[in-house]
């Protein structure tokens, strides 16, 4: 049996991590919108939207005060490197696949001068098909939810548990650099390769840490808002984007964002969404519902 990792202490609510995200500044706004894409500029990484009548922006007035306004007309949306562009299943798609005329939903930031910056853009297009894994494959991906000595408990994207055995011959890397076994930490996302044992465990010959939770930006606190249908959250006044590639956990098991309700404690690990040096949100890789 794999013994669950023991978390040393409960996280302090707020935002941590070098270059981490932060709440929006006074005078900025959060946008929830739907409409139709009317233009795509791949050289400038922008989209043009014809907004539907129900689109709106909530302007931050300071403290706990917000002011809602209706959005209308056609607007240009700027895309950042960490902006999530997804299909209706939450799977990532490229800007090259987007064509004018496609319906879309949008969660974005509005600057005081009404420049729009995308956090999540959901395109109403056919879902991305995940390639079938060959039957003899011995490669696994997942998030670390437990460890006991040389055994790592990995939760895969399908929600199954896999025991990973680390030996003296296991090569562990972060960004191509070899690291010791102790570098594998709770909530790291791993790519693991090696032979399968008869009991279903995997004897790792290589472990690539594709996302290092201790080095990531982190937001913790109660859920303040859930953007249904778009995979958006607000935690500690910070806009959080999620996709099908985000691991959502509860009690070390796979969970769903639908289980998150207002006021519920949550810890989010991810990649800062930056407009130059200005933090506007966090692209989540791991979400832990308390």
Q: How far is Cα 115 from Cα 113, in angstroms, rounded to an integer? A: 6
Question: β-strands 177-178, 238-241: how paired?
Answer: unpaired
Asked if residues 4 and 252 have their Cβ atoms less than 8 Å apart, the reply is yes
Q: Looking at the predicted structure, is the pLDDT value of residue 13 above 70?
A: no
Asked if residues 9 and 154 have their Cβ atoms less than 8 Å apart, the reply is no
pLDDT tens-digit series, residues 199-225:
889 999 999 999 999 999 999 999 999
pLDDT band at 27 (very low <50, low <70, confident <90, very high): very high
pLDDT, residue 5, reads 32
Please give the backbone phi and psi of residue 257, each rounded to the nearest 5 degrees, phi first.
Answer: -65, -20
Tokens of 264: 């519920």
Asked if residues 222 and 280 have their Cβ atoms less than 8 Å apart, the reply is no
Residue with tokens 């070390």: 252
> What is the residue-averaged pLDDT of the chain?
87
Tokens of 196: 């399968």
Structural domains in the chain, sorted by start:
29-123 (2.40.50.320), 139-213 (2.40.50.140), 216-289 (2.40.50.140)
Q: Output the 3-class SS for the chain.
A: CCCECCCCCCCCCEEECCCCCCCCCCCCEEEEEEEEEEEEECCCCEEEEEECCCCEEEEEEECCEEEEEECCCEEEEECCCCCEEECCCCCECCHHHCCCCCEEEEEEEECCCCCEEEEEEEECCCCCCCCCCCCCCCEEEEEEEEEECCEEEEEECCCCEEEEEEEEEEEEEECCEECCHHHCCCCCEEEEECCECCCCCEEEEEEEEEECHHHCEEEEEEEEEEECCCCEEEECCEEEECCCCCEEEECCEECCHHHCCCCCEEEEEEEEEEECCEEEEEEEEEEEEC
- Closest listed residue to residue 88, CA positions, set 34, 51, 49, 125: 125
- Closest listed residue to residue 230, CA positions, set 68, 31, 97, 51: 31
> What is this structure's pTM?
0.84
Q: Looking at the predicted structure, is the pLDDT value of residue 10 above 70?
A: no
pLDDT, residue 9, reads 33
Which one is predicted more confidently, 58 or 258?
Answer: 58
CA distances from 216 to 22, 112, 265 (A): 14, 29, 19
pLDDT tens-digit series, residues 52-79:
999 999 999 998 899 999 999 999 999 9
Question: β-strands 65-70, 151-156: how paired?
Answer: unpaired
pLDDT, residue 64, reads 86
pLDDT, residue 26, reads 92
pLDDT tens-digit series, residues 229-241:
889 999 999 999 9
């Amino acid at each position: 049996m794999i013994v669950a990792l023991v978390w040393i202490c409960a996280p302090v609510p707020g935002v941590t991590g070098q270059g981490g995200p932060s709440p929006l500044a006074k005078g900025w706004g959060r946008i929830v919108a739907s409409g139709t894409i009317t233009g795509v500029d791949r050289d400038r990484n922008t989209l043009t939207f014809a907004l539907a009548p129900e689109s709106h922006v909530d302007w931050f007035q300071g403290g706990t005060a917000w002011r809602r306004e209706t959005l209308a007309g056609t607007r240009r949306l700027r895309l950042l490197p960490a902006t999530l562009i997804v299909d209706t299943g939450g799977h990532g798609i490229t800007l090259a696949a987007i064509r004018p005329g496609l319906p879309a939903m949008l969660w974005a930031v509005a600057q005081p001068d009404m420049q729009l910056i995308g956090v999540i853009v959901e395109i109403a297009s056919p879902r991305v098909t995940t390639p079938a894994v060959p039957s003899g494959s011995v490669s696994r991906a997942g998030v670390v939810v437990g460890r006991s000595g040389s055994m790592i408990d990995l939760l895969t994207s399908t929600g199954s548990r896999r025991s990973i055995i680390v030996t003296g011959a296991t090569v562990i890397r972060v960004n191509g650099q070899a690291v010791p076994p102790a570098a594998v930490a709770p909530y790291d996302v791993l790519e693991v390769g090696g032979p399968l044992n008869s009991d279903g465990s995997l004897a790792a010959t290589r472990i690539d840490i594709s996302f290092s939770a201790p080095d990531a930006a982190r937001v913790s606190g109660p859920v303040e808002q859930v953007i249904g249908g778009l995979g958006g959250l607000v935690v500690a006044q910070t806009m959080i984007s999620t996709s099908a590639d985000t691991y959502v956990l509860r009690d070390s098991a796979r969970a769903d964002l639908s289980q998150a309700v207002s006021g519920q404690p949550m810890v989010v690990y991810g990649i800062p969404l930056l407009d130059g040096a200005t933090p506007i949100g966090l692209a989540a890789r791991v979400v832990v519902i308390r």
